[in-house]
Amino acid sequence: MALEAAEALVSAGDGLWELLSMENLPDALRASVSAKLRGGPRSFEETLTLADYEISFGVGDALDYFDGLSQHVDLQDEVRRHMLVRWCLGHDIPEQALEILPESRALERRDAFLLHIQVLTRLERWDRIRELLGRKDLPLELFWQYLLQAELELGTGDAAKAAHLWNRARSLSDGSREQLWLLLRPGDRIGGDDRTTNRMMGDLVLSGESVDAVRSYLLDRLARDGNFDRFLESLRTLKVRFGEQAEWVNDWAYFSIVMGRDGEEALAEVNRIIEKEPSKLAYHMTWAMAMVIRGEPREVLERLRHFKVDWESLAPRWRMILALALALASVGEKEQAEHYMQGIDPAGLSPYEAELVRRLMGEPAS
């Protein structure tokens, strides 16, 4: 949209919400959009969106907007009240969240109580949480009570007691996707036998959860604990259980290859899934990484020439580009390799991938 057209929309008061999504909007025009939107009555959702918008551009901080949001006429609605509590937590003002959802309201219904406990946890008010969980009139089933007690003991450092309570909660679980996720997160933090949490991940897959969701969880866990051996073992467990689902095979094979674990088995597995789905580029890129590590980059480049791919469009899935960049570097095509490496955030590389980059980007093969 041309700048003149944007200015005309602001003057007319039209399309203001659409303008919020525009990139590179001049600061003065952005301020005009905000002023116009603040000028009239707005729904709670619109007011919240506008607050986030202005905060993101440094107009103010969350506390500057809290009073207006907390006094909004729509806040009598419980759903919106909870929305504001989550907004406060997202902006790290938990004391204000407690004003919106006091204990008296929290005891009326389960969702409110769980959110109230979340706020108290952020504030680390462990004694108050313990007192609340000791009440007899909680709007919670036993599953939730044991789970929250486990979270409490985990927060206060008693891992053994947390594990006991977590297992009690697990025994009462209905096996639903929601409860599996609720159990998995504290279960992984408690530690202990990973076979149980690995089995839960498999149960999530069986419940219909997407491969992407479970994979994202594993990557998030890896970012927290940095335990690549644990990560790889979880992937192997899922690969063994769901060997007919090629995505799990490919994930395990890729990290096995870059970590130098079971490389021959991993390559054989990748060749097997490529044979079944020869058009799937992701599987070929895992194969490519194995071949680059084995010192056969020219074979990689020869195979990839048969794929009509806009490599630039793959930047968000940078692990697919990494093998190509390393193959190019290995045959001396440094300039092209560095071009593709620009789409890769070095901070996102595992230590194993980073070492490959250091070695192969600096030492071209003959």
Angle formed at CA 109 by CA 104 and CA 112, multiple of 5 degrees: 70
Place of tokens 């604990």: 225
Range 287-313 average pLDDT: 89
Q: Which helix (H) or strand (E) holds 250?
A: helix 246-259
pLDDT of residue 1: 45
- Residue 186 belongs to a domain: yes
Q: Find all residues with CB under 8 Å of 233, minimum gap 6, and list them.
A: 194, 198
pLDDT of residue 33: 62
CA dihedral for 245, 247, 249, 252, sign (positive or negative): negative
Residue 81 has pLDDT above 50, yes or no: yes
- Residue 150 belongs to a domain: yes
Range 64-83 average pLDDT: 91
Range 14-32 average pLDDT: 58
Q: Give the residue numbers spanning the domain of 178.
A: 141-193
Calculate what percentage of the chain has a pLDDT beyond 90. 58
Give CA–CA dist 362/325, Å, rounded.
Answer: 12
pLDDT of residue 30: 61
Residue 325 has pLDDT above 60, yes or no: yes
- Residue 183 belongs to a domain: yes
pLDDT of residue 3: 44
Residue 257 has pLDDT above 80, yes or no: yes
pLDDT of residue 37: 60
- Residue 235 belongs to a domain: no
Range 206-213 average pLDDT: 91
Indicate the pTM of the whole model: 0.76
Residue 277 has pLDDT above 90, yes or no: yes
pLDDT of residue 39: 58
Q: How far is CA 114 from the centre of its chain?
A: 22
Q: Find all residues with CB under 8 Å of 365, minimum gap 6, and list them.
A: 295, 297, 330, 331, 332
Range 55-75 average pLDDT: 86
Tokens matching residue 159: 């891992």
pLDDT of residue 278: 94
Residue 55 has pLDDT above 60, yes or no: yes
- Residue 112 belongs to a domain: no
Lowest-pLDDT choice from 52-56, 95-99, 135-139, 151-155: 52-56
Residue 2 has pLDDT above 60, yes or no: no
- Whether the Cβ atoms of residue 314 and residue 295 lie closer than 8 Å to each other: no
Amino acid at 35: A
Give CA–CA dist 289/283, Å, rounded.
Answer: 10
Identity of the highest mean pLDDT range in 21-30, 211-220, 343-352: 211-220
Average pLDDT, the chain: 86
Domain count across the chain: 1
pLDDT of residue 131: 96
Identity of the highest mean pLDDT range in 25-34, 61-70, 141-150, 302-311: 141-150
Question: Radius of gyration of the chain from Cα atoms?
Answer: 26
- Residue 333 belongs to a domain: no
pLDDT of residue 360: 85
Tokens matching residue 357: 């980059």
- Residue 314 belongs to a domain: no
Does residue 268 or residue 10 have the better pLDDT?
A: 268
- Residue 265 belongs to a domain: no
